[in-house]
Chains A and B, each alone.
Chain A
Amino acid sequence: MALPPHAAAATAEETDPAAAPYTPYALAKTLAGHKAAISAVKFSPDGNLLASSSADKTLRAYSTASLATLHDFHGHSQGVSDLAFSGDTRLLASASDDKTLRLWDVPTGTLLKTLHGHTNYAFCVNFNPHSNLLVSGSFDETVRVWDVKSGKCLKVLPAHSDPVTAVDFNHGGTMIVSSSYDGLCRIWDASTGHCMKTLIDDENPPVSFVKFSPNGKFILVGTLDNTLRLWNISTGKFIKTYTGHDNSKFCISASFSVTNGKYVVSGSEDKCVYLWELQTRKIVQKLEGHTDAVISVACHPTENMIASGALGDDKCVKIWTQEKD
C-alpha cells in the first residue's frame, strides 16, 4: 500500500523575481491506510491534527507532529464525502452518502451523534467559528443548518436546483456561502436563513467548490471548466482567475496558503497539486507524486505544510513541507 517516497517536486514554471525567493514544497511523508479513494483532508484549527475522510466509510485522524494515525472513526454505512473540525478541535463532523452527518469525539474516537434529515447524499459540511452550528449541503439540493448541541435541524435553505457541492461559514459566522452544479454561488444570512446574494457569471459552469477568504470579503470558487476564481462579494464580480490545472470531473477543493506569502493551492485531475501566487496568478509550483487525481488539499494554519489526498488508484494522504535552509 505504501508508495515509495518521491523526490523533490517539479520546480516552478515561472518564478516571480520581484518577490522573495520562493522556497519550494517537497514531499515529507505519505500516509497510507485508507482502503479506498480519499475524499477530503483538513487540518484542525490549532494545527495539531490532520483528518481525512474516504470512500471506505471511515475517517482518520493523524497527529501533525508525528504523522502517526491517532484514530479510526467507524460508523458510516456508506462512503464519506467531507469532514470538518470544530473550533476547539474536540469535535469532527462528517457527511456521507448514507444521508447522515455524524459528530465524533476527537480525543476518544467515538461517535457522539448522528444527524438525520437530508434525503440524499450529504456532500459537504462545515462548522461555524463558534462551533455551535453546523452547515451541510446535499444532493437533495438543500443546505441545512444544525444545532450541534441537540442535533436538531434549525433551518432548511432551498438553496439550489442541483446538488450542493460546498458550504462554508465566514470568519464571523454571520454568512453562509453555498455552491452547486447549477452554476450559482449563493450567500445566506446565517442567523435568519435569508438569501443575501447570488453570484453568477455570464456562463455558468457547474461550481464544484467554494470557500470564504480569511477576512470574509472574497470567495474562492472552483468551477468544472478548469478554473478557479476569486470573487469580491460586495461587487459581485470576480477579480482573479487561476488556471493551468485540470478540473472538469470532480469536486476538487482549494485553499489559501498564508503562512509564508499568499498563495492559492488546489488539487488537480492530472495528479498534481498546484500553487499559484495570489496576486500575480502565476503558477509557482506543481507538486507531483500522487498516482491519481488529487481531490483535496489543506494548508496548515501556522506552519508551511500542505496536505493532499487523492482518489482510488492512490488512496494516500501526502504531506508536503517547505525545505528549511
Chain B
Amino acid sequence: MEAPIIDPLQGDFPEVIEEYLEHGIMKCIAFNRRGTLLAAGCTDGSCIIWDFETRGVAKELRDKECTAAITSVCWSKYGHRILVSASDKSLILWDVLSGEKIAHTTLQHTVLQACLHPGSSTPSICLACPFSSAPMIVDLNTGSTTALPVLTADVSNGATPLSRNKTSDTSVTYSPCNACFNKHGDLVYAGTSKGEILIIDHKNVRVCAIVLVSGGAVIKNVVFSRNGQYMLTNSNDRLIRIYKNLLPPKDGLKMLDELNESFNESDDVEKLKAIGSKCLELLHEFQDSITRVQWKAPCFSGDGEWVIGGAASRGEHKIYIWDRAGHLVKILEGPKEALMDLAWHPVHPIIISVSLTGLVYIWAKDYTENWSAFAPDFKELEENEEYVEREDEFDLVPETEKVKGLDVHEDDEVDVLTVERDSIFSDSDMSQEELCFLPAVPCLDIPEQQDKCVGSCSKLPDGNHSGSPLSVEAGQNGNASNHNSSPLEPMENSTADDTDGVRLKRKRKPSEKGLELQAEKVKKPVKPLKSSGRLSKTNKPVIDPDSSNGVYGDDGSD
C-alpha cells in the first residue's frame, strides 16, 4: 500500500452485504488480477465487465452468435483477454479493451470450467473441464484438443504417449472431473472421480505424481490460492481439504523430475504415489458435521489466509469462512436464494456471491467510524483509564510549557518523487502492461432529463429503492432487516435511467450535514474568494473588495 496510514485490511473478512449488482441474470464471476474489474457471465451469452471502483458496468462483451448461457469466465494474467465457456459447447476468447472476439472454438462437450494458461499475457492454450469427459488442453488458435490422462489405467501405461480422442474409445463415463493450472502454468492439478489428485505435465501429456485423498470420494473442485502456495479440494464426502504446495513456484517440473530419479519403485503407479506424497501436504479438513452440507465454489482469500465455501443447499445463501488454521470464523447468511458462485477480492476483504436469481452480492466489512481519524488529538480507549497527573500539573508556571520548542528539522532532505513499489503484487512483471481499467466514456446527458434535474436538485430523493434485496446482518437468524435508508442522496441526479441499476444500500447514513443544508436551502453570506467579479447579484451580498480578512464567518463554530 502506498501510505502506512491505510489499515492493512488483509486478514479481515467481510460481514454484511454492502451492495448488490444487477444486470441481466449473472451466473459466474471472476476478478481480474488486481480486483479492479469484475467479469460476470450471463444466461444470455454476454459477459459483463464491471468497474469495481464505481460499481458500474464498464463494458459488455456480446456477440450475436453467442447466446447460450455462460458456464465459466476466466481472465488472462494481465487482464487483456477473457475466456468464456458456454453451454452450447463453445469456448470464446475475447479481447477486453476492444470488445472483439479473438477465437471461437466448439468442442464435443459443454465445458463446465475453462481456465486460461496463467503464465502469459496472451495465452493461446487453456484448460477445459467438460461435463462428461476428461479435462483437456485446448489450443485456442487451432482448436485442437489434448485430453489429459486421468484414469489410473492411463497412468500405468507408462511412457506411451496418449493418442488424442482417447475419450471416445473408452466406455467408462466419468463424473465431472475438475482441474486447474498451478500458478506458473506448467502443471495441471486434476481431481478425479476416484479421489485422487493427479499432477500432470500438460505439455508432454504425462502424469508426474498421484496424491491420494483419504476417503476416495469424487473430487468436485480443485482450487489454488493466489500465491500458489496452498490448494484446496472439494469432495463429494462433504469435506474441503487444504493442502500446502511443496513444489517450488517456478521449477515444479524440475523438482518432479528429480523426485522421479530419486525413487526406485518398480511399479509406476506406486512410484507416482510416492512422488505425490512429496508434492502436497494435507493441512486441514473442513466440514459442517451438523448439517453435513455439500460445498459449492470454495476458494481462498486474496492473501490465502481465509477459505470460503458456499453451502450448496437450495433455499439458502450461506457462506462459511474458515481461517487457514482450521477454525470456522463466520457464517454469512444472505437472502433465501441458492448460491451459484463465490469469489474473494484479490486485495480487499470483500466477497462476491452470485445468487440463483442472477444478482451479485457484495459483502464487505461492517465499518464503525474511527473517530480519532477526524480529531487527531483524541485517542480511543478500550476501557476507562485512571488519570495520573503530572508532577507540575498544578504549578502556576508548569515546567513543560517553558521548554516548548518546535522540533521541526526543516533542513532535512525530502523526497517527493519516488513511488514505492506495490508489495502485494510482487510477482508482476514490470515489462508487461496490465489492463486495470477500461476508459470511462461518459454517457451523454439526455436533454429533457437535464431540465428535470435542475428543478429537483434541492429536494430529498424519494425512497424508490425499497423493493430491492436488503443488506442483512451476518447472524444466525438470517433476518432480512430492511435497511431502506432514506438519505439516498447519491441517486438524486440520475440523468439516465440505466438498466444497470446499481442500488446503493449504504448502512452508514451519509452526510447528515449535507441533508440539513439541502432541507434548509441555506443561503449563507458567502464570499467566494477566488474572484470578486462574478457574484450573482440577485441573492448574495456584494463582496467588499477592501476587506482584508477573508476568513469565512463561522470559523470554528463546531
Q: Which residues of A contact B (CB under 8 A)?
A: 36-39, 54-57, 78-79, 81, 88, 91, 97, 99, 103, 112-117, 119-121, 123, 130-133, 139-142, 147-158, 161-163, 170-175, 181-183, 186-187, 189-200, 204, 206, 208, 213-218, 224, 230, 233-234, 236-241, 248-251, 256, 258, 262, 278-281, 295, 311-312
User: In the assembled complex, how far is the CB of residue B506 from the closest CB belonging to chain A, in whole angstroms?
Assistant: 9
Q: What's the minimum C-beta distance from B369 to chain A, rounded to whole angstroms?
A: 8
Q: Do residues B534 and A130 form an inter-chain contact, with CB atoms below 8 A? A: no
The residue that B414 contacts in the complex, of A114, A130, A133, A278, with Cβ under 8 A, is A278
User: A208 to chain B: which residues have CB within 8 Å?
Assistant: 529
Pair A154/B490 contact, Cβ less than 8 Å: yes
On chain A, the residues within 8 Å of B416 by CB distance are 213-215, 217-218, 230, 256, 258, 262, 278
Given pairs A142-B513, A158-B510, 16 additional interface contacts (CB within 8 A): A39-B531, A112-B445, A119-B521, A120-B517, A148-B54, A149-B51, A150-B443, A152-B494, A154-B490, A158-B514, A174-B6, A195-B369, A206-B550, A215-B419, A251-B530, A256-B416
Let me know if B444 and A112 touch, CB within 8 A.
Answer: yes
**What are 10 A-B pairs with beta-carbon distances under 8 A?**
A36-B531, A55-B531, A114-B450, A119-B518, A131-B439, A149-B443, A190-B53, A200-B376, A215-B420, A224-B551
Say yes or no for B498: interface residue by CB 8 A criterion: yes
Residues of B within 8 A of A55 (CB): 530-531, 533-534
Indicate whether B458 reaches chain A with its CB closer than 8 angstroms.
Answer: yes
CA–CA, A158 to B522, complex, Å? 16
Among A133, A156, A194, the residue within 8 A (CB) of B54 is: A133
A147-B54, A149-B51, A251-B530 given as contacts; is B551 within 8 A of A181 (CB)?
A: yes
Interface residues of B (CB under 8 A from A): 1-6, 51, 53-56, 58, 348, 364, 367, 369-370, 373-376, 408-420, 436-437, 439-445, 450, 453-454, 457-458, 489-496, 498, 502, 504, 510-514, 517-518, 521-522, 524, 526, 528-536, 548-552, 554-558
Q: Which residues of B contact A162 (CB under 8 A)?
A: 552, 554-555
Determine if B2 and A192 form an interchain contact, defined as CB atoms under 8 angstroms apart: no
Determine the chain B residues whose CB is within 8 A of the CB of A187 once the complex forms: 5
CA distance A171 to B415 in the complex (A): 15
Instruction: Describe B's contact surface by its main secondary structure.
Output: loop
Shortest beta-carbon distance from B435 to chain A in Å: 11
Q: How far is the CB of A325 from chain B (nearest CB, A)?
A: 25
Question: Do B373 and A197 have beta carbons less than 8 Å apart?
Answer: yes
Asked if B550 and A250 make an inter-chain contact with CB atoms under 8 angstroms apart, the answer reads yes
Complex CA gap A56/B510 in Å reads 34
The answer to whether A182 touches B522 (Cβ under 8 A) is no
Which interface residue of A99, A151, A200, A281 has the most chain B CB atoms within 10 A?
Answer: A151
Which one of A88, A142, A190, A204 has the highest number of Cβ atoms from chain B below 10 Å of its Cβ?
Answer: A142
CA gap between A200 and B372 in the complex, in Å: 13
* Residues A151 and B445 in contact in the complex (CB < 8 Å), given A183-B555, A216-B3: yes
Q: Is the CB of A91 within 8 A of B531?
A: no
Name the B residues within 8 Å of A115 (CB-CB). 493
Name the A residues within 8 Å of B376 (CB-CB).
Answer: 197-200, 236
Shortest distance between the CB of B98 and any CB in chain A (Å):
16
**A113 lies within 8 A of B528 (CB):** no
Which of B418, B526, B533, B558 makes the CB contact (< 8 A) with A121?
Answer: B526
CB distance from B214 to the nearest CB of A (A): 42
B517 near A140: Cβ-Cβ < 8 Å: yes
> Which 8 A-B pairs have CB atoms at the shortest separation, nearest pair first?
A79-B534, A55-B534, A37-B531, A213-B416, A132-B440, A249-B550, A147-B54, A116-B493
CA A218 to CA B419, docked complex, whole Å: 12
Query: Whole-angstrom distance between the alpha carbons of A172 and B415 in the complex?
Result: 17
Q: Is the interface of A mostly helix, strand, loop or mixed?
A: loop
Whether B490 and A155, one on each chain, are in contact in the complex, defined by CB atoms closer than 8 angstroms, is yes
* Complex CA–CA separation, A194 to B6 (angstroms): 10
CB distance from B202 to the nearest CB of A (A): 36
* Contact (A132, B534) CB under 8 Å given A192-B367, A198-B376, A256-B416: no
By the criterion CB–CB under 8 Å, are A114 and B3 in contact? no
**What CA separation (Å) do A116 and B453 show in the bound complex?**
7
B534 touches A114 (CB 8 A): no
CB neighbours of B55 from chain A (8 A): 147, 154
A116-B454, A215-B416 are contacts. A206–B552 as well, Cβ < 8 Å? yes
Asked whether B2 lies within 8 Å of A170 as measured between CB atoms, the reply is yes
Distance between A115 CB and nearest chain B CB, rounded to angstroms? 7
A181 touches B552 (CB 8 A): yes
User: Could you say which of A116, A161, A171 contacts B558, with CB atoms under 8 Å apart?
Assistant: A161
A78/B444 in contact, CB under 8 A: no
* B426 CB, min distance to chain A CBs, angstroms: 16
Known: A142-B514, A196-B373, A279-B413. A130 touches B490 (CB 8 A): no
Q: Are B528 and A97 in contact (CB under 8 A)?
A: yes
Contacts of A204 in B (CB 8 A): 556
CA distance A70 to B227 in the complex (A): 50
Q: Which residue of B lies closest to A35 (CB)?
A: B533
B-chain residues with CB within 8 Å of residue A214 when the two chains form the complex: 416-417, 419
Residue numbers in B under 8 Å from A141 (CB-CB): 513-514, 517
**How far, in whole Å, are A248 and B551 apart by their CA atoms in the complex?**
8
Closest CB in chain A relative to B336 CB, distance in Å: 28
Pair A189/B51 contact, Cβ less than 8 Å: no
B552 nearest CB across to chain A (Å) = 4
Q: Which residues of B contact A37 (CB under 8 A)?
A: 530-534
| Given the contacts A153-B493, A233-B3, A234-B3, A132 and B51 also touching, CB distance less than 8 Å | yes
Residues of A with C-beta under 8 A to B530: 37, 39, 55, 81, 123, 250-251, 295
Q: What is the distance, in angstroms, from A50's C-beta to the closest C-beta of chain B?
A: 19
Q: Which residues from B are CB-within-8-Å of A132?
A: 51, 53-54, 58, 437, 440
Contact of B408 among A36, A103, A198, A237 (CB under 8 A): A237
